[in-house]
Chain A
Protein backbone atom coordinates (compact mmCIF):
# COMPACT_ATOMS: atom_id res chain seq x y z
CA UNK A 1 0.00 0.00 0.00
CA UNK A 2 1.79 3.13 -1.16
CA UNK A 3 -0.82 5.24 -2.94
CA UNK A 4 -2.23 7.92 -2.87
CA UNK A 5 1.40 9.13 -2.88
CA UNK A 6 0.61 12.54 -1.39
CA UNK A 7 -1.31 11.00 1.51
CA UNK A 8 1.70 8.80 2.30
CA UNK A 9 3.92 11.88 2.53
CA UNK A 10 5.95 11.18 -0.62
CA UNK A 11 5.87 14.87 -1.52
CA UNK A 12 4.86 18.10 0.18
CA UNK A 13 2.29 20.86 -0.27
CA UNK A 14 4.38 22.95 -2.66
CA UNK A 15 5.00 19.97 -4.94
CA UNK A 16 1.27 19.20 -4.80
CA UNK A 17 0.61 22.49 -6.59
CA UNK A 18 3.02 21.49 -9.38
CA UNK A 19 1.27 18.13 -9.66
CA UNK A 20 -2.10 19.93 -9.81
CA UNK A 21 -0.77 22.09 -12.65
CA UNK A 22 0.46 19.00 -14.56
CA UNK A 23 -2.84 17.15 -14.04
CA UNK A 24 -4.64 20.26 -15.28
CA UNK A 25 -2.58 20.22 -18.49
CA UNK A 26 -3.67 16.64 -19.16
CA UNK A 27 -7.28 17.47 -18.28
CA UNK A 28 -7.40 20.51 -20.58
CA UNK A 29 -5.59 18.66 -23.37
CA UNK A 30 -8.09 15.79 -23.55
CA UNK A 31 -11.10 18.11 -23.17
CA UNK A 32 -9.89 20.04 -26.22
CA UNK A 33 -9.05 16.83 -28.14
CA UNK A 34 -12.68 15.76 -27.63
CA UNK A 35 -13.91 19.06 -29.09
CA UNK A 36 -15.13 20.42 -25.75
CA UNK A 37 -13.76 23.91 -26.36
CA UNK A 38 -16.73 24.33 -28.70
CA UNK A 39 -20.13 25.25 -27.26
CA UNK A 40 -21.84 23.99 -30.43
CA UNK A 41 -20.23 20.59 -30.09
CA UNK A 42 -21.11 20.42 -26.37
CA UNK A 43 -24.74 21.50 -26.71
CA UNK A 44 -25.36 19.17 -29.68
CA UNK A 45 -25.62 16.55 -26.92
CA UNK A 46 -28.89 18.13 -25.75
CA UNK A 47 -30.40 18.07 -29.26
CA UNK A 48 -29.41 14.40 -29.76
CA UNK A 49 -27.15 15.31 -32.73
CA UNK A 50 -23.74 14.46 -31.25
CA UNK A 51 -23.55 12.52 -28.01
CA UNK A 52 -19.81 13.04 -27.46
CA UNK A 53 -20.43 14.56 -24.00
CA UNK A 54 -22.04 11.34 -22.83
CA UNK A 55 -19.46 9.12 -24.56
CA UNK A 56 -16.39 10.96 -23.25
CA UNK A 57 -17.77 11.41 -19.74
CA UNK A 58 -18.84 7.81 -19.25
CA UNK A 59 -15.69 6.39 -20.82
CA UNK A 60 -13.65 8.47 -18.36
CA UNK A 61 -15.85 7.42 -15.42
CA UNK A 62 -15.53 3.74 -16.36
CA UNK A 63 -11.74 3.92 -16.89
CA UNK A 64 -11.07 5.79 -13.62
CA UNK A 65 -13.68 3.78 -11.70
CA UNK A 66 -12.22 0.43 -12.81
CA UNK A 67 -8.70 1.73 -12.17
CA UNK A 68 -9.52 2.72 -8.60
CA UNK A 69 -11.28 -0.61 -8.00
CA UNK A 70 -8.49 -2.83 -9.35
CA UNK A 71 -5.63 -0.82 -7.80
CA UNK A 72 -7.47 -1.02 -4.48
CA UNK A 73 -8.09 -4.74 -4.91
CA UNK A 74 -4.41 -5.30 -5.76
CA UNK A 75 -3.44 -3.52 -2.54
CA UNK A 76 -1.58 -0.69 -4.30
CA UNK A 77 -4.09 2.09 -3.60
CA UNK A 78 -5.74 2.79 -0.25
CA UNK A 79 -9.15 3.85 -1.59
CA UNK A 80 -10.30 5.03 1.86
CA UNK A 81 -7.74 7.85 1.69
CA UNK A 82 -9.25 9.34 -1.51
CA UNK A 83 -11.33 12.42 -0.72
CA UNK A 84 -15.06 11.84 -1.17
CA UNK A 85 -17.37 14.84 -1.21
CA UNK A 86 -20.14 14.29 1.38
CA UNK A 87 -23.68 13.95 0.04
CA UNK A 88 -26.31 16.66 0.63
CA UNK A 89 -29.02 15.12 -1.52
CA UNK A 90 -31.62 17.85 -2.12
CA UNK A 91 -29.24 20.83 -2.55
CA UNK A 92 -27.16 18.70 -4.94
CA UNK A 93 -30.21 17.83 -7.04
CA UNK A 94 -31.38 21.47 -7.14
CA UNK A 95 -27.83 22.63 -7.90
CA UNK A 96 -27.57 20.01 -10.64
CA UNK A 97 -30.80 21.20 -12.26
CA UNK A 98 -29.57 24.83 -12.19
CA UNK A 99 -26.23 23.76 -13.60
CA UNK A 100 -27.84 21.72 -16.38
CA UNK A 101 -30.08 24.65 -17.35
CA UNK A 102 -27.01 26.90 -17.35
CA UNK A 103 -25.15 24.35 -19.50
CA UNK A 104 -27.66 24.48 -22.38
CA UNK A 105 -28.28 28.22 -22.12
CA UNK A 106 -24.62 29.17 -21.74
CA UNK A 107 -23.03 26.42 -23.83
CA UNK A 108 -20.29 25.27 -21.46
CA UNK A 109 -19.54 23.99 -17.98
CA UNK A 110 -16.78 25.61 -15.89
CA UNK A 111 -13.97 23.27 -17.04
CA UNK A 112 -14.89 23.34 -20.73
CA UNK A 113 -15.33 27.13 -20.69
CA UNK A 114 -11.62 27.39 -19.80
CA UNK A 115 -10.75 25.34 -22.89
CA UNK A 116 -13.05 27.59 -24.94
CA UNK A 117 -11.22 30.66 -23.59
CA UNK A 118 -7.81 29.07 -24.27
CA UNK A 119 -8.70 28.38 -27.92
CA UNK A 120 -10.20 31.82 -28.65
CA UNK A 121 -13.94 31.49 -28.07
CA UNK A 122 -15.25 34.94 -27.10
CA UNK A 123 -18.58 33.60 -25.84
CA UNK A 124 -16.61 31.40 -23.42
CA UNK A 125 -15.00 34.56 -22.01
CA UNK A 126 -18.44 36.12 -21.45
CA UNK A 127 -19.63 32.82 -19.97
CA UNK A 128 -16.69 32.86 -17.53
CA UNK A 129 -17.67 36.37 -16.40
CA UNK A 130 -21.17 34.97 -15.84
CA UNK A 131 -19.73 32.23 -13.60
CA UNK A 132 -17.97 34.88 -11.50
CA UNK A 133 -21.25 36.82 -11.22
CA UNK A 134 -23.22 33.69 -10.28
CA UNK A 135 -20.74 32.72 -7.57
CA UNK A 136 -20.73 36.28 -6.25
CA UNK A 137 -24.53 36.33 -6.00
CA UNK A 138 -24.51 32.88 -4.38
CA UNK A 139 -21.97 34.12 -1.83
CA UNK A 140 -24.04 37.21 -1.07
CA UNK A 141 -27.22 35.22 -0.41
CA UNK A 142 -25.33 32.40 1.32
CA UNK A 143 -26.22 33.57 4.88
CA UNK A 144 -29.92 33.35 3.97
CA UNK A 145 -29.72 29.85 2.41
CA UNK A 146 -27.22 28.15 4.76
CA UNK A 147 -30.06 26.06 6.21
CA UNK A 148 -30.99 24.68 2.78
CA UNK A 149 -27.33 24.30 1.75
CA UNK A 150 -26.65 21.98 4.69
CA UNK A 151 -29.99 20.12 4.56
CA UNK A 152 -30.41 16.37 3.80
CA UNK A 153 -26.82 15.72 4.92
CA UNK A 154 -25.88 12.05 4.46
CA UNK A 155 -22.13 12.19 4.98
CA UNK A 156 -19.72 10.31 2.73
CA UNK A 157 -22.05 7.93 0.94
CA UNK A 158 -21.43 5.63 -2.03
CA UNK A 159 -24.12 4.06 -4.22
CA UNK A 160 -23.19 0.54 -2.95
CA UNK A 161 -23.71 1.77 0.65
CA UNK A 162 -26.98 3.54 -0.20
CA UNK A 163 -28.46 0.46 -1.91
CA UNK A 164 -26.74 -2.19 0.29
CA UNK A 165 -25.02 -3.82 -2.68
CA UNK A 166 -21.42 -4.86 -3.20
CA UNK A 167 -19.04 -2.30 -4.68
CA UNK A 168 -18.02 -4.61 -7.52
CA UNK A 169 -21.63 -5.30 -8.48
CA UNK A 170 -22.54 -1.61 -8.71
CA UNK A 171 -19.39 -0.86 -10.70
CA UNK A 172 -20.23 -3.73 -13.05
CA UNK A 173 -23.73 -2.29 -13.50
CA UNK A 174 -22.22 1.12 -14.32
CA UNK A 175 -19.94 -0.47 -16.95
CA UNK A 176 -22.90 -2.34 -18.49
CA UNK A 177 -25.00 0.83 -18.50
CA UNK A 178 -22.17 2.75 -20.19
CA UNK A 179 -21.64 0.12 -22.89
CA UNK A 180 -25.38 -0.07 -23.53
CA UNK A 181 -25.51 3.73 -23.59
CA UNK A 182 -22.69 3.87 -26.17
CA UNK A 183 -24.57 1.54 -28.49
CA UNK A 184 -27.77 3.54 -27.95
CA UNK A 185 -25.92 6.83 -28.57
CA UNK A 186 -24.69 5.63 -31.96
CA UNK A 187 -28.21 4.57 -32.92
CA UNK A 188 -29.69 7.96 -31.85
CA UNK A 189 -27.02 9.87 -33.80
CA UNK A 190 -27.66 7.89 -37.01
CA UNK A 191 -31.41 8.35 -36.63
CA UNK A 192 -31.16 12.12 -36.15
CA UNK A 193 -28.70 12.45 -39.06
CA UNK A 194 -31.18 10.60 -41.30
CA UNK A 195 -34.00 12.85 -40.08
CA UNK A 196 -31.98 16.03 -40.72
CA UNK A 197 -30.99 14.79 -44.20
CA UNK A 198 -34.64 14.05 -45.05
CA UNK A 199 -35.68 17.53 -43.87
CA UNK A 200 -32.89 19.13 -45.95
CA UNK A 201 -33.95 17.13 -49.03
CA UNK A 202 -37.58 18.16 -48.57
CA UNK A 203 -36.57 21.82 -48.28
CA UNK A 204 -34.41 21.57 -51.42
CA UNK A 205 -37.23 19.89 -53.35
CA UNK A 206 -39.62 22.69 -52.34
CA UNK A 207 -37.21 25.35 -53.61
CA UNK A 208 -36.71 23.58 -56.96
Chain B
Protein backbone atom coordinates (compact mmCIF):
# COMPACT_ATOMS: atom_id res chain seq x y z
CA UNK B 1 0.00 0.00 0.00
CA UNK B 2 1.82 3.11 -1.15
CA UNK B 3 0.91 6.76 -1.22
CA UNK B 4 1.17 6.79 -5.01
CA UNK B 5 -1.82 4.45 -5.10
CA UNK B 6 -3.97 6.95 -3.27
CA UNK B 7 -2.69 9.77 -5.50
CA UNK B 8 -3.82 7.97 -8.62
CA UNK B 9 -7.44 8.27 -7.43
CA UNK B 10 -9.15 10.85 -9.63
CA UNK B 11 -10.35 13.76 -7.56
CA UNK B 12 -13.40 15.77 -8.39
CA UNK B 13 -12.50 18.37 -5.80
CA UNK B 14 -10.86 21.60 -6.95
CA UNK B 15 -7.08 21.52 -6.91
CA UNK B 16 -5.38 24.21 -4.86
CA UNK B 17 -3.58 26.82 -6.90
CA UNK B 18 -0.15 25.93 -5.51
CA UNK B 19 -0.65 22.33 -6.59
CA UNK B 20 -1.83 23.33 -10.02
CA UNK B 21 1.29 25.43 -10.55
CA UNK B 22 3.64 22.64 -9.45
CA UNK B 23 1.79 19.34 -9.63
CA UNK B 24 3.46 17.05 -7.10
CA UNK B 25 6.96 18.38 -7.51
CA UNK B 26 8.08 16.49 -4.42
CA UNK B 27 7.68 12.76 -4.29
CA UNK B 28 6.06 11.64 -1.04
CA UNK B 29 8.49 10.03 1.37
CA UNK B 30 7.74 6.43 2.35
CA UNK B 31 6.07 5.86 5.72
CA UNK B 32 8.24 5.18 8.76
CA UNK B 33 9.13 1.72 9.89
CA UNK B 34 6.08 0.71 12.01
CA UNK B 35 8.23 -0.32 14.96
CA UNK B 36 10.04 3.03 15.02
CA UNK B 37 6.72 4.90 14.80
CA UNK B 38 5.40 2.64 17.57
CA UNK B 39 8.36 3.44 19.80
CA UNK B 40 7.78 7.17 19.20
CA UNK B 41 4.09 6.80 20.00
CA UNK B 42 4.89 4.75 23.11
CA UNK B 43 7.31 7.39 24.38
CA UNK B 44 4.68 10.13 23.87
CA UNK B 45 2.20 8.01 25.84
CA UNK B 46 4.77 7.38 28.57
CA UNK B 47 5.49 11.12 28.72
CA UNK B 48 1.75 11.74 29.18
CA UNK B 49 1.69 9.32 32.15
CA UNK B 50 4.83 10.78 33.75
CA UNK B 51 4.04 14.46 33.22
CA UNK B 52 0.24 14.61 33.57
CA UNK B 53 -0.81 11.36 35.28
CA UNK B 54 -3.18 10.42 32.49
CA UNK B 55 -2.97 8.92 29.02
CA UNK B 56 -3.99 10.08 25.56
CA UNK B 57 -7.46 10.29 24.03
CA UNK B 58 -9.47 11.63 21.13
CA UNK B 59 -13.20 10.90 21.20
CA UNK B 60 -13.75 12.97 24.36
CA UNK B 61 -12.84 16.12 22.43
CA UNK B 62 -15.52 15.31 19.83
CA UNK B 63 -18.03 14.89 22.70
CA UNK B 64 -17.16 18.32 24.12
CA UNK B 65 -17.83 19.94 20.74
CA UNK B 66 -21.16 18.10 20.36
CA UNK B 67 -22.25 19.06 23.89
CA UNK B 68 -21.40 22.72 23.26
CA UNK B 69 -23.36 22.66 19.98
CA UNK B 70 -26.40 21.08 21.65
CA UNK B 71 -26.23 23.64 24.46
CA UNK B 72 -26.10 26.49 21.95
CA UNK B 73 -29.12 25.14 20.07
CA UNK B 74 -31.21 23.98 23.06
CA UNK B 75 -29.71 25.00 26.45
CA UNK B 76 -32.51 23.57 28.61
CA UNK B 77 -32.45 20.26 26.74
CA UNK B 78 -28.64 19.99 27.12
CA UNK B 79 -28.74 20.78 30.83
CA UNK B 80 -31.43 18.14 31.39
CA UNK B 81 -29.42 15.37 29.67
CA UNK B 82 -26.84 13.70 31.94
CA UNK B 83 -24.55 12.83 29.02
CA UNK B 84 -24.32 16.33 27.52
CA UNK B 85 -24.36 18.03 30.93
CA UNK B 86 -21.30 15.99 31.90
CA UNK B 87 -19.28 17.79 29.22
CA UNK B 88 -20.63 21.26 29.99
CA UNK B 89 -19.49 23.84 32.53
CA UNK B 90 -18.16 27.38 32.67
CA UNK B 91 -15.58 26.76 29.91
CA UNK B 92 -16.43 23.40 28.29
CA UNK B 93 -13.81 23.66 25.53
CA UNK B 94 -10.90 24.34 27.89
CA UNK B 95 -10.28 20.65 28.45
CA UNK B 96 -7.20 18.45 28.26
CA UNK B 97 -8.54 16.48 25.30
CA UNK B 98 -9.65 19.50 23.26
CA UNK B 99 -6.14 20.98 23.52
CA UNK B 100 -4.54 17.60 22.87
CA UNK B 101 -6.63 17.11 19.73
CA UNK B 102 -5.61 20.55 18.42
CA UNK B 103 -2.03 19.35 18.87
CA UNK B 104 -2.81 16.13 16.97
CA UNK B 105 -4.02 18.19 14.02
CA UNK B 106 -0.83 20.28 14.07
CA UNK B 107 1.49 17.30 14.59
CA UNK B 108 -0.17 15.33 11.79
CA UNK B 109 0.03 18.34 9.49
CA UNK B 110 3.72 18.92 10.32
CA UNK B 111 4.67 15.29 9.69
CA UNK B 112 2.69 15.24 6.44
CA UNK B 113 4.33 18.50 5.30
CA UNK B 114 7.84 17.22 6.07
CA UNK B 115 7.19 14.02 4.13
CA UNK B 116 5.47 15.68 1.15
CA UNK B 117 2.20 13.92 1.96
CA UNK B 118 -0.20 16.88 2.07
CA UNK B 119 -2.68 16.66 -0.75
CA UNK B 120 -6.42 16.81 -1.13
CA UNK B 121 -7.63 13.28 -1.78
CA UNK B 122 -10.30 10.65 -1.20
CA UNK B 123 -9.04 7.42 0.39
CA UNK B 124 -10.77 4.49 -1.33
CA UNK B 125 -10.25 1.47 -3.53
CA UNK B 126 -10.86 1.58 -7.31
CA UNK B 127 -14.24 -0.19 -7.19
CA UNK B 128 -16.35 2.40 -5.33
CA UNK B 129 -17.55 5.90 -6.26
CA UNK B 130 -16.55 8.95 -4.26
CA UNK B 131 -20.19 9.42 -3.20
CA UNK B 132 -20.35 5.81 -2.05
CA UNK B 133 -17.13 6.25 -0.11
CA UNK B 134 -18.45 9.40 1.57
CA UNK B 135 -21.68 7.63 2.54
CA UNK B 136 -19.75 4.76 4.14
CA UNK B 137 -17.36 7.20 5.83
CA UNK B 138 -20.32 8.95 7.46
CA UNK B 139 -21.97 5.69 8.56
CA UNK B 140 -18.67 4.33 9.88
CA UNK B 141 -17.97 7.55 11.75
CA UNK B 142 -21.43 7.38 13.30
CA UNK B 143 -20.94 3.81 14.53
CA UNK B 144 -17.49 4.75 15.82
CA UNK B 145 -18.83 7.80 17.68
CA UNK B 146 -21.63 5.87 19.38
CA UNK B 147 -19.37 2.87 20.11
CA UNK B 148 -16.64 5.02 21.64
CA UNK B 149 -19.14 6.65 24.00
CA UNK B 150 -20.61 3.30 25.03
CA UNK B 151 -17.09 1.94 25.67
CA UNK B 152 -15.99 5.14 27.50
CA UNK B 153 -13.17 5.78 25.07
CA UNK B 154 -11.76 4.93 21.66
CA UNK B 155 -8.62 3.36 20.24
CA UNK B 156 -6.54 6.08 21.94
CA UNK B 157 -8.20 6.40 25.34
CA UNK B 158 -8.99 2.71 25.84
CA UNK B 159 -6.88 0.47 23.60
CA UNK B 160 -3.59 2.41 23.71
CA UNK B 161 -3.76 4.06 27.14
CA UNK B 162 -5.60 1.27 28.95
CA UNK B 163 -3.58 -1.34 27.06
CA UNK B 164 -0.31 0.01 28.48
CA UNK B 165 -1.81 0.15 32.01
CA UNK B 166 -3.07 -3.47 31.70
CA UNK B 167 -6.61 -2.17 32.27
CA UNK B 168 -8.97 -5.19 32.15
CA UNK B 169 -11.87 -3.32 30.50
CA UNK B 170 -9.53 -1.83 27.90
CA UNK B 171 -8.18 -5.24 26.90
CA UNK B 172 -11.71 -6.66 26.57
CA UNK B 173 -12.55 -3.58 24.49
CA UNK B 174 -9.49 -4.04 22.28
CA UNK B 175 -10.31 -7.68 21.49
CA UNK B 176 -13.88 -6.62 20.63
CA UNK B 177 -12.59 -3.88 18.29
CA UNK B 178 -10.47 -6.35 16.30
CA UNK B 179 -13.37 -8.87 16.27
CA UNK B 180 -15.81 -6.25 14.95
CA UNK B 181 -13.37 -4.86 12.40
CA UNK B 182 -12.39 -8.27 10.97
CA UNK B 183 -15.99 -9.52 11.19
CA UNK B 184 -17.34 -6.85 8.85
CA UNK B 185 -14.32 -6.63 6.48
CA UNK B 186 -15.66 -9.09 3.88
CA UNK B 187 -18.88 -7.11 3.47
CA UNK B 188 -17.18 -3.82 2.60
CA UNK B 189 -14.20 -5.25 0.69
CA UNK B 190 -15.24 -3.45 -2.50
CA UNK B 191 -14.66 -0.14 -0.75
CA UNK B 192 -10.99 -0.83 -0.16
CA UNK B 193 -9.73 -3.47 -2.58
List the interface of chain A (C-beta within 8 A of B). Answer: 3-7, 16-35, 37-41, 43-47, 49-50, 52, 55-65, 67-68, 71, 77, 81-89, 91-124, 126-140, 142-143, 146, 149, 154, 157-162, 167, 170-171, 174, 182
List the interface of chain B (C-beta within 8 A of A). Answer: 1, 3, 5-6, 13, 31-32, 34-56, 58-59, 62-63, 65-67, 69-70, 81-84, 94, 96-97, 99-112, 115, 117-125, 133-134, 136-185, 188-189, 191-193
Please judge, given known A-B contacts A5-B51, A28-B103, whether A38 and B147 are in contact too, CB under 8 Å. Answer: no
Is B144 a contact of A103 with CB atoms below 8 Å? yes
Q: Which residues of A contact B62 (CB under 8 A)?
A: 110, 128, 131-132, 135
Given contacts A5-B51, A60-B38, 11 further A-B contacts (CB under 8 A): A23-B51, A27-B156, A30-B37, A32-B112, A57-B163, A63-B39, A83-B54, A85-B161, A96-B151, A100-B176, A143-B81
Which residue in A33, A45, A93, A143 is a CB contact (below 8 Å) of B172?
A93
Which residue in B5, B32, B69, B145 is a CB contact (below 8 Å) of A138?
B145
A142 to B85 alpha-carbon distance, docked (Å): 11
A154 to B171 alpha-carbon distance, docked (Å): 14
Which residue in A27, A91, A127, A171 is a CB contact (below 8 Å) of B166?
A171
Q: Specify which of A85, A120, A171, A182 lies most central, judged by the most chain B CB atoms within 10 Å of its CB.
A: A85
Is A46 a contact of B185 with CB atoms below 8 Å? yes
A121 to B61 alpha-carbon distance, docked (Å): 20
Is A93 a contact of B173 with CB atoms below 8 Å? yes
Is B165 a contact of A67 with CB atoms below 8 Å? no
Is B182 a contact of A46 with CB atoms below 8 Å? yes
Q: Which residue of B lies closest to A93 (CB)?
A: B176
A24 to B99 alpha-carbon distance, docked (Å): 8
Q: Which residues of A contact B174 (CB under 8 A)?
A: 96
Is A64 a contact of B141 with CB atoms below 8 Å? no
A108 to B42 alpha-carbon distance, docked (Å): 20
Is B160 a contact of A57 with CB atoms below 8 Å? yes
A111 to B141 alpha-carbon distance, docked (Å): 12
**A170 nearest CB across to chain B (Å):** 6
Q: Which residues of B contact A135 (CB under 8 A)?
A: 59, 62-63, 66, 145-146, 148-149
Which residue in B34, B94, B104, B167 is a CB contact (below 8 Å) of A17?
B94
Please judge, given known A-B contacts A6-B53, A64-B49, A114-B101, whether A119 and B124 are in contact too, CB under 8 Å. Answer: no
Is A123 a contact of B124 with CB atoms below 8 Å? yes
Which residue in A4, A32, A59, A142 is a CB contact (below 8 Å) of B111?
A32
Q: Which residues of A contact B140 (CB under 8 A)?
A: 101-108, 127, 130
